[in-house]
Amino acid sequence: MSDHRITEMRIHCVSIPARAVHSHGSGDVGGINVALCELTTDSGLTGWGEASPWPVFTGTQEGAAAALHVHFRPLVIGQDPVLVEPIMAQAERVLVGHPEAKAALECALLDLTGQIAGLPIAELLGGRARDSMPLSFSIANPDFDADQADVAQIWDSGVRIFKLKTGFADHAFDLMRLEKLRDTYGDAIRLRIDYNQGLPAYDAIRHIRDLEAFRPEFVEQPVRMHERAALAEITRAVDVPIMADESVFNVRDAQQATATRMTDIISLKTAKSGGIRRCLEIAAIARTAGIEVYGGCMFETSIAHMAGAHLMAAVPDLTLGCEFYMSTYYAETDIAKTPFPVRGGHVHLPKTPGLGTAPDPDALARYRTRLLSHGDS
Ligand SMILES: [Mg+2]
């Protein structure tokens, strides 16, 4: 318990254009559309969290804003912000789904709790196992010439991990891009592949076997999210490790995935699972079965990236790194007061209490959309 009480929740819907369209097996995305949750206390503290939805994956920006405004606001006004689990358990009881809105609420509560305790969120989770983690950039521009120029620049900045988005054009295009990247960068480039559900299940194994010659470190979500039996079959059939992303949202999915050995790796995302601490529960389940975890992201600003960075810093074992690249290499602008801490191809976790970042007021005013925002003063 603390002496602090939450007095207000404000929701800011924000839309930031991307520098380039990114294509995926599940469609194109040209910007970042999120709902930011701002909690203030009677002691003058402010906590931030972000709901980062993707309509073809978890939900919508307007749905997340409504979940926060209508359903979660009554749970927190007048509450002590350090009661994170009781508040989140109540949020899960009053509203099914909407994991990205729950992630925003939990992050804002943890941000306040950290400021009250004088500790970064990672320390509230048990302590950081690492101060930095290697960063992956996603290659997803349908214009591969433009993508190669971007990759060259990002390579020069120190990034060595690249994830190729596949399955949105034809198989020959995917093979051509892999061959070109392996030829250009040799063994120094760490390549991964993400189909975003883009392969037909009946023919997925043959497609993946063709890619194995280019030595990818993993192949992510080849088939549709509900095709879990097919995913398990693929995991058994091919040599390259398989990662589940869309097929594992919550602890129940993780339990099923370990029971059936459906996958070799699970992508952790606070927006899928309803917060940082539910992701740690998934990581614990995965660990019991020798399944690796990975720091995945949705289309996010620095705020959600930082939540993910605290999560992945606190995971006991991390060999595959993270992909919190959006605010540095994808968005037109980083909305935060201080740029997201990417240096030399790594994300460096701050040591400041709480989340360790907040939106810049001018950037927030510029990218805030009027229609879906609540709590204007
Ligand atoms: Mg993915």
Q: What pLDDT is attached to residue 374?
A: 56
Rounded distance from Cα 216 to ligand 1 centre (Å): 15
Q: Is 337 among the residues known to form the active site?
A: no
Report the alpha-carbon distance of residue 64 to residue 272 in Å, rounded: 12
How far apart are the C-alpha atoms of 314 and 293, rounded to whole Å? Answer: 12
Q: How far is the CA of 26 from the centre of ligand 1 (A)?
A: 10
Strand order in the sheet with 27-41: 6-24, 27-41, 46-51
* Residue 165 annotated as catalytic: yes
> Mind listing the pLDDT tens digit for each residue in 192-236?
999 999 999 999 999 999 999 999 999 999 999 999 999 999 999
According to DSSP, residue 374 is labeled: B
Distance 197 CA to ligand 1 centre (A): 9
Report helix, strand or coil for 303: helix
State percent of the chain over pLDDT 70.
98
CB–CB of 254/266 below 8 Å? yes
pLDDT greater than 50 at residue 377: no
What is each CA distance from 273 to 139, 142, 254, in whole angstroms?
25, 30, 10
As a whole number of angstroms, the distance between CA 239 and CA 233 comes to: 12
The residues with which 35 forms a beta bridge, in sequence order, are: 13, 51
Average pLDDT over residues 155-160: 98
List, for residues 271-324, the tens digit of each pLDDT value. Answer: 999 999 999 999 999 999 999 999 999 999 999 999 999 999 999 999 999 999
Enter the tokens of residue 200.
């037909």
Query: Cα(80) to centroid of ligand 1, in Å?
Result: 36
Coil/strand/helix, residue 99: helix
What pLDDT score was predicted for residue 329? 94
Q: Given 102, 163, 180, 269, which residue is catalytic?
A: 269
Q: Catalytic residue among 163, 165, 180, 272, which? A: 165
Q: Of 326, 320, 288, 290, nearest to 307 (Cα)?
A: 326
Residue 185 contacts by C-beta under 8 Å, 6 or more apart in sequence? 155
Q: What is the pLDDT of residue 371?
A: 57
Residue with tokens 């740029």: 339
Q: How would residue 162 be classed by pLDDT, with cut points 50, 70 and 90?
A: very high
Tell me the C-alpha distance between 136 and 365, whole Å: 30
**If you measure from the C-alpha of residue 244 to the centroid of ligand 1, how many angstroms do you get, rounded to a whole number?**
8
What is the Å distance from ligand 1's center to 370 Cα?
A: 30
Look-up of token digits 């979500």: 221
pLDDT of residue 372: 54
Give the CA distances from residue 121 to residues 114, 258, 285, in Å, rounded to whole numbers and listed in that order. Answer: 6, 28, 21
pLDDT tens per residue across span 1-59: 999 999 999 999 999 998 888 888 888 888 999 999 999 999 999 999 999 999 888 89
Sheet with 219-220, strands from edge to edge, namely 136-139, 161-165, 190-194, 219-220, 242-244, 265-268, 292-295
Q: pLDDT tens digits, residue range 47-104?
A: 999 999 998 888 999 999 999 999 999 999 999 999 999 999 999 999 999 999 999 9
Helices (H), 17-79: 61-66, 73-76
Q: The whole model's pTM is what?
A: 0.96
Collapsed DSSP state (helix, strand, coil) of residue 144? helix
Q: How far is it, in rounded angstroms, from Cα 115 to Cα 349?
A: 16
Mean of pLDDT values over 96-121: 98
**Residue 152: both structure tokens together:** 């060259």
Q: Average pLDDT, stretch 173-181?
A: 95
Q: Check the CA dihedral 362-366-372-376 and report its sign.
A: positive
Dist. CA 56 → ligand 1 center (Å): 12
CA 303 to chain centre: 11
Query: CB count, 10 Å around CB of 179?
Result: 12
Buried b (16+ CB within 10 A) or exposed e, 143-168: ebeebbebbeebbeeebbbbbbbbbb
pLDDT at 375: 58
Distance 194 CA to ligand 1 centre (A): 6
Domains of the chain: 6-119+358-367 (3.30.390.10), 123-348 (3.20.20.120)
pLDDT value for 60: 94
Q: Which residue has the tokens 């606001």?
A: 73
